[in-house]
Amino acid sequence: MINDVAIYRIFEIINRFWDFSQNPLTLHKPNLMSKKNTKYIFVTGGVTSSLGKGIVSASLGLLLKSRGFNVTIQKLDPYINIDPGTLNPYEHGECYVTEDGAETDLDLGHYERFLDSATSQNNNVTTGKIYQTVIEKERKGDFLGKTVQVIPHITNEIKRRIKILAKENYDIIITEIGGTVGDIESLPYIESVRQLRWELGENNSMVIHLTLLPYLAASGELKTKPSQHSVRQLMESGIQADVLVCRTEHKITKEIKAKLAQFCNVPAENVIESIDVETIYQVPLELQKQKFDEVVLKELALPFNQESDLKDWKNFLKKYKNPKKKVEIALVGKYVSLQDSYKSIAEAFIHAGASQDTEVKLRWVYSGDLTEENLAENFNGIDGMLIAPGFGDRGIEGKILAAKFARENKIPLLGICLGMQIMTIEFARNVLGLKDANSAEFDLTTKNPVISLMEEQKNVVDKGGTMRLGAWKCQLKPHTKLIEIYGNKNITERHRHRYEFNSDYLDDFEKNGLYASGINPDTKLVETLELRNHPFYIGVQYHPEYKSTVATPHPLFVALVKAATEK
């Protein structure tokens, strides 16, 4: 007898030779295409942006993982940029870098921090990437002269990108769709979800719709009408939400839940409250109280007999909320008016602080305002300092002054990426006596480019995705602070830079006390610098903040917090 698998394969072969761009013959049995029957969860948003789809997705991922499921999360971004790598941080917040060197949306940082597992380039898809791929195929003639259209070509590519993670054998893939329902740029994604849900079959996918319940102080009530309209708009696109997650400032009554259930076609128990909380790390526990993960597993016809194990998460939260000590650390940067620009750094301090029973208060200092005259005022009473990464020459001189202040006043300092380069310039000017020392990024004419353009970057013209990106090896030298901090001489950390420490000056630096404690074993590039006779003065060319999670706080941030408490 010919079984379903055989029938599917026959149709697949016929389609390959018939017209694979249009696929006129279809038999949708996608679950037969992989050994594991991967389930898909789509998270959409309505009414307004910035409701917290990323946090809800990450929280759900954590709850499902705690029940023993293998989970990953991906983000579909409707903007036409290829990635956020060339976007101004004021425009889009932090650019988060994955192990494999993808420049991605900051929500991937939340995914990694909650799930304690690495993401990849496949976890972030943009409209730019979708159109780029389709146009490249068209130029090669892959569509055999067919007219290239949003449907089916763009939607087919979106569906391919959504399903590509299934090859990694996940039980559940959560896909967050950026923007809100009704946005013109989101329409191809919504249509792709509609098609994919039909193709996947019953109980293999579901839609969670995150919406807002605004509170009108004048009448003293929560209003459901915006959510009703949002769900209706989703239904007009052919998608019925299975679960509503309602962002609110006030508790949702049973009457409101019943009203939403009736007008949005969902069971009352599938209306989940997402109330404002003190910290994002409280969200998973609030959702767990409402059995959010059980609701999801029922919709996907998955077992939920294994209890969630959030003991470590609750312990972290308890320590975070009940610190025994307090330190204040100055974060010196040029994007401090939009703190999302340094999101991973801020979260890394939370992880490190909780691990040390310490509240870490960040003092956000705009480097462009720093002068010799106001340094003492701006840094009065701080216990530590971090000089943030970045690009461009704005605020650079202020950062140099901050590094000098930390060095001379024995204040624990961690410089990240550009921060390490700033420490290099400051030391060259004020200790080595090279008054015109600078980075070639800021002054091409300087006679002492202690920071220079990497050799492989000299002929680079395109700026997007061409930096030194992703995980690179670093070998730490014995008898250094960093090898004590890491407890291992061989480490890998994520990078995002074009400029490097100019090794022509290394001997002079080391003779005067600032030495290279970490070197890339393959390129011989200087990865880390340490200052002798200082309690904590460390610069790293990489970005340790990207690898800090709730479960595994990054040792460099832990060490900085320790040094700050000792001061």
- Is 545 one of the catalytic residues? yes
As a whole number of angstroms, the distance between CA 229 and CA 232 comes to: 5
Sign of torsion, CA 521 525 531 536?
A: negative
Catalytic residue among 351, 497, 543, 554: 543
In what side-by-side order are the strands of the sheet with 438-439? Answer: 438-439, 449-453, 499-501
Catalytic residue among 417, 527, 530, 534: 417
Closest CA to 143 of 253, 23, 228: 23
- Please give the full DSSP string across 104-115, using - where no structure is assigned: E-THHHHHHHHH
How many CB atoms within 10 Å of residue 432?
17
As a whole number of angstroms, the distance between CA 308 and CA 310 comes to: 6
519 in Cβ contact with 527 (< 8 Å): yes
As a whole number of angstroms, the distance between CA 366 and CA 378 comes to: 10
Catalytic residue among 176, 493, 500, 545: 545
3-state secondary structure of 440: coil
Could you tell me where the beta strands, DSSP code E, fall in 50-204?
71-77, 96-97, 103-104, 124-126, 172-177
Instruction: State the Cα angle at 351 between 346 and 352, rounded to 5°.
Output: 95
- Is 543 one of the catalytic residues? yes
- Is 417 one of the catalytic residues? yes
179 in Cβ contact with 155 (< 8 Å): no
How many CB atoms within 10 Å of residue 163?
19
Owner of token pair 């961690």: 414
Q: Which residues are catalytic?
A: 417, 543, 545
